[in-house]
Amino acid sequence: MPAAQTTGSTAEIHELPAVRLRDALRAGEVSAQEVTAHFLDRIAAQNPLLGAFVTVTAEQARADAAAADARYVRFCKDFGKGSGRDSGGSAGGLPLLHGMPVAFKDLTDVAGVVTTHGSAALDHKPAPADGALAAVLRAAGVVSLGKTQVPEFGLTAYSENRIAPPSRNPHAPSRSSGGSSGGSAAAVAAGLLPFAPGTDGGGSVRISAAACGL
């Protein structure tokens, strides 16, 4: 999908490539709260059909986005608005992925959020701490919007289980989005996320990305 030329309207946010959206956030062209609200609205509208998300952590996402915007205000006082655009890594305290929305496969622990592993057989309790992947990305400034659908224990090439509705292909909802990163791939392909991390032990990212045209 072609990139929008500006971020003057929230209707364009989900059309921006992830790198362009990251740059817009770091340059202060758009706020983390605006971006988060836009993607949460899209999830609310489209997830009932697509089943990409198992859990949406909207309240926490809004709080994290507000904290990101407050961090940006402090950054601007020290370095000036827009100075985070071109700097690599952390620009004087502004994380590389400042304010970027993301969601984690429901195989990855995120502190305070249940990880089901796609299995009804497990005791579903909130994770006490971030897993390694979530810890790295959250330290880099992302705003987590929730957990995406996976097959039970991530073992099959389709993302269906007894926990939540199956993840569907945004281009053909009667078809699968693949697996085991099917929920993540469907979310990115449908514009519910600008990007998403995946895990791949035997094609889990590759199958899902190919199925969803990424």
Tokens coding 115: 């990880």
Which residues are the active-site residues?
Answer: 105, 180, 204
The residues near 116 (Cβ < 8 Å, ≥ 6 apart) are 54, 106, 122, 124, 147, 161, 163
Q: How far is Cα 2 from Cα 17, in angstroms, rounded to an integer?
A: 8
Q: How far is Cα 171 from Cα 176, in angstroms, rounded to an integer?
A: 10
Q: How far is Cα 6 from Cα 121, in angstroms, rounded to an integer?
A: 47
Q: How far is Cα 172 from Cα 23, in angstroms, rounded to an integer?
A: 32
- The answer to whether the CB of 212 falls within 8 A of the CB of 193 is no
Q: How far is Cα 80 from Cα 71, in angstroms, rounded to an integer?
A: 13
Instruction: Name beta bridge partners: 101.
Output: 143
**How many Å separate Cα 8 from the centre of its chain?**
22
Q: How far is Cα 71 from Cα 114, in angstroms, rounded to an integer?
A: 28
